[in-house]
Structure 1
């Protein structure tokens, strides 16, 4: 496992310190305490780090845009709070979700305020605020579209690889792309550089989600932090399952379909059986290949940005960290 560099740790430290200092509001406490709670649960802080790393490609005073970087993290956690309600998820980062700890109505309302506060954090952004808000809104709408597609998939009998890649592009990747685009916009970068960074982020984001799909089945349980095989247990239409259904022979497809249709089963037995079918088909290798295809496309976009190569070191290190992660 590639270790996170000290520079990246320092950026995450800056973000976490600023999050600790930031006030979302005070009264009524029942409205604001859930926001403080979800923001205290930690996480990788990928998106605000990407804002800072993109900015640092062009300028050195990244401490001046911490609040704008926070806007992206607050928005991301707003989507998580609402997603957890829709998924009826009991846990987020190993702790009770907001709707479980309080209730769904509180989680909806607190999430709504988080979206408002995300816009507040954008107000003092350097540059053309109208252009920034338009890009932010386009990204936010895309995330919602991706979530709806993901929910649609639950009741669809057939989902293509193209459908799935588009869904994860919207639900996950466009926010990573926007984070990099936003950092470049704040630094006053050229339109060409801004577009290249957005594409880099989207392609890396798709690779990131494919890695998540892979880890859910093949991660080391001790490192993973949540149940390995959760996607198999819930019949989630991931890249792995969709490719397995596409490539399975008659016997394998029958076995997969039987496991998908079973209402009562032993979870460990199902995970073992479905993973064995994946192994027979070579799904792990196919997923790694598709994941690396998107990571490589992302690095091609990064190579097009005309700044000194040493300035790209932090962003390349962080992307490599995402590729090599095992949890």
Structure 2
């Protein structure tokens, strides 16, 4: 990440440290402070600021609206972790593991309320902003439900999977960019082009996340490497492997999927070996780059100085090349 981008992250983190959620009962508010202290890439609020800075320079005026998106994102993570029964988040205990599921649900609810509270302070077209935010939030929930529905389906098409991650992950990145544009009073066409850019890089981002879940260095990744394999999660990698496997590979892959008792490390290594035989890594990388390229094409439609676009392009490249 460049120094300029890191400065934005530092500014966001400083404001997050100052943010007050409430004090009593501490069992309600401590989990919020805990999850928000775990760090993260802060890419969504950074995207809000970068989009704003395409048109205006005084991004200090919209820090709280940018942070609203981060609070909402962490609310979804807190609830997702419960549904996924995830033990780790950014290398630390998840909230429902450290406290309990009921606390995690309730604390997450407060985070959603706080996100609204921060957004409504915007000095812009608040009615349109709230309409777009609500549409985005509903989309994230739709995507999560689709992801859970996939668990009970024998197979899922590539098109279905891409639509699911578009809703679950990508629309929030698109909204982050559109929010920055709206706060800067950009034109509707410019805001929509940024939304398209965000959705496409968001799909690419999730495909990279799927890839890292299988191939990342555990010491750097922060989550359990191979978690998707262990849980038989229908990611792009698994779906393409099931589609392209020969008879022997298909038999071996399905045997691992069907086993209820297994050594997790052995399963991850075996399934990753099948992926390697089929060439799943390169296929996923190619699909990821396809969506990043679509995003860059959308960005070209925004008629601002190329120098203004440079930080946004650098950030997208950081997402492409990240290793955690």
Instruction: Using structure 2 for the length normalisation, give the TM-score.
Output: 0.98
Deviation at 1:311, TM superposition (A): 0.1
Deviation at 1:269, TM superposition (A): 2.1
Distance 2:219 2:211 in 1: 16
Secondary structure of 1:326 counterpart: coil
The 5-angstrom pairing of residues 131-142 of structure 1 reads 131-142=128-139
Distance 2:277 2:93 in 1: 37
Distance 2:104 2:223 in 1: 23
1:84 has 2:81 as partner = yes
The residue that corresponds to 1:178 in the other structure is 175
Distance 2:277 2:314 in 1: 34
Distance 1:24 1:273 in 2: 45
Contiguous gaps of at least 5 residues in structure 1: none
Secondary structure of 1:297 counterpart: helix
The residue that corresponds to 1:101 in the other structure is 98
The 5-angstrom pairing of residues 155-234 of structure 1 reads 155-234=152-231
- RMSD over aligned CA atoms reads 1.1
1:15 has 2:8 as partner = no
1:34 has 2:31 as partner = yes
1:121 has 2:118 as partner = yes
Distance 1:267 1:251 in 2: 21
Distance 2:246 2:280 in 1: 13
Count of aligned pairs between the two proteins: 324
Deviation at 1:177, TM superposition (A): 0.4
Contiguous gaps of at least 5 residues in structure 2: none
Distance 2:292 2:71 in 1: 26
Secondary structure of 1:26 counterpart: coil
1:318 has 2:278 as partner = no
Secondary structure of 1:127 counterpart: coil
Task: Verify the 8 A CA contact 2:53 2:59 in the aligned structure 1.
Answer: yes
The residue that corresponds to 1:295 in the other structure is 292
The residue that corresponds to 1:150 in the other structure is 147
Deviation at 1:256, TM superposition (A): 0.6
Deviation at 1:224, TM superposition (A): 2.5
1:239 has 2:231 as partner = no
Distance 2:215 2:8 in 1: 30
Q: 1:279-301 CA deviation, whole Å, 9 max, x = no partner? A: 12111111111000000000000
Q: 1:82-123 CA deviation, whole Å, 9 max, x = no partner? A: 111112222211222212222222111111111111111012
The residue that corresponds to 1:266 in the other structure is 263
Instruction: Using structure 1 for the length normalisation, give the TM-score.
Output: 0.97
Secondary structure of 1:164 counterpart: helix
1:256 has 2:218 as partner = no
- Out of 30-39 and 316-325, give the one that drifted further: 30-39
